[in-house]
Amino acid sequence: MAKALGSGGSIAESSNGSSYTTVGKVKSISLPPSVAMIDATDNDSAGTKEKLPGDSEFKLSVTANYDSADAGQTAIIDAAAAKTILYYRYRPKGTGTGEIQYIGTGYISKCQIDAKHESIMELSFDVEFTGGVVKSIQ
């Protein structure tokens, strides 16, 4: 597997899934899938837990330097306040022919602006996807 710097990734939002606005000043993006594990232990398990995979879940976490003039950040803050579902497009290596992207719809479950003493203000938000996330090639 080729090594890649994490500085090229981008996240964008869309209300309709066709016209996306990039969220600016992003510092970190993560999209860890998780699988619920179902306890299948019974009296025949001989004292050892048994598990089966359940439903998958995707949660997107983003941190950016806050910019009140950034259209993408403003759209995120507005969607969080209105509890609006949006499309999200995550490109781990940024824009480029042949590069991977992930697209899905979800709601913002956390959105906050941090203003700490002697620090750059930050916007952080989490998105919980409804349904799956589609992996495709740009």
Place of tokens 């999209």: 31
Tokens of 132: 């799956």
Domains and CATH numbers, the chain: 7-33+56-137 (4.10.410.40)
pLDDT in tens, 70-98: 999 999 999 999 999 999 999 999 899 99
Q: What CA–CA distance (Å, rounded) separates 29 from 103?
A: 14
18 burial level (CB within 10 Å; 0-12, 13-18, 19+): exposed
Tens-place pLDDT, residues 98-119: 999 999 999 999 999 999 999 8
Percent of the chain exceeding pLDDT 70 equals 96
Structure tokens that stand for 134 in this block: 């589609």
